[in-house]
Amino acid sequence: MPGDGPDGKSAGKAPLIADAGAKSGGTTAGGGQTRGGAPAPGGGRPREFVLAISWQPAFCETHANKAECRSQTATRFDADHFTLHGLWPQPRGREYCGVSARQRSDDRAGRWEALPEVAVDAETRAALAEVMPGTRSALERHEWLRHGTCSGTSQDAYFDDALALVGAINASKVRDLFGAKIGGSLTQAEIRAAFDESFGAGAGKRVRIACSRDGDRRLIGELTIGLVGEIRPDPDLAALISAARPTDGGCNDGVVDAVGLQ
């Protein structure tokens, strides 16, 4: 999540690829396949998204003081699964829909604890606590305010959609590949091949990899995935990905970081 908060960069650990670059790359995925962010017919929901998923140990190398990082353990879910950063309706500028200037100001200043709590049911809240460790820093409030407000759906449905999408990736060979390579390295080609294997030929070309620098190491920090179509309760991730436009792959290779500072 480099760049998504005011403390996204630590001295000597500057991200190789800025957040804006990752997001614009993600925007490229699927760009041009919809009508410029117009609502989908009937449902009123945008049909183009970027799903951003994090490799949390890499994030924590540069955010060691965040609550979700101080509490991370080698056995917690986020040690070896992808976590939810965000589900971003496109185009890129589609943000803060109907949000007050005061809340935008709090959000941009990183005062996420000052933002309203999200209205989700107990099941969704529990799932977010596991799959979105940043909830310990009120990341979900920021994500709803900046992106979710433009999704055209309820807070509960928005997070359920996002959780279902991350769940599909965590149940795939992409998660297996990362889990098997913790402490080692992966190439863009290997990652894209795993997406093809799990979600159909060409899926990997809709995925962009963001890396960050940690001393001499280059860490895989985040994947952004283009999605086009309606996200249903049991989403067909293969179909959503295949409808997106190919993107450049971002980072060519990087380390699959292990929990703890290396």
Given the rule CB under 5 A, which residues bind Ca ion? Answer: 57, 257, 262
Which residue of this chain has its Cβ atom nearest to Ca ion in the complex? 257
Provide the CA 181 distance to its chain's centre, in angstroms. 20
3-state secondary structure of 77: helix
CB-CB contact of 161 with 87 (8 Å): yes
Closer residue to Ca ion, CB minimum distance, 50 or 186: 186
Phi, psi of 214 (to 5 degrees): -130, 95
- Minimum distance, C-beta of residue 58 to Ca ion, in the bound complex (Å): 7
Write down the least CB distance from residue 214 to Ca ion, Å.
Answer: 8
Place of tokens 């799990």: 198
Question: CB within 8 A of 18, min separation 6: which ones?
Answer: 2, 3
Shortest distance (Å) from residue 156 CB to Ca ion: 33
Q: Which is nearer to Ca ion, 39 or 260 (CB)?
A: 260
Are 219 and 211 in contact, with CB atoms under 8 Å apart? Answer: yes
**Residue of 116, 92, 121, 81 lying closest to 102 (CA atoms):** 116
Q: H or E segment at 102? A: helix 101-108
Nearer to Ca ion, 74 or 189 (CB): 74
Instruction: Write down the least CB distance from residue 134 to Ca ion, Å.
Output: 17
Cα–Cα distance, 98 to 131 (Å, whole number) = 27
Extract the tokens encoding 53.
């998923």
Nearer to Ca ion, 39 or 215 (CB): 215
Q: Tell the smallest beta-carbon distance from residue 174 to Ca ion (Å).
A: 20
Nearest CB to Ca ion, comparing residues 4 and 61: 61
Nearer to Ca ion by C-beta: 26 or 134? 134
**Nearest approach, Cβ of residue 256 and Ca ion (Å):** 10
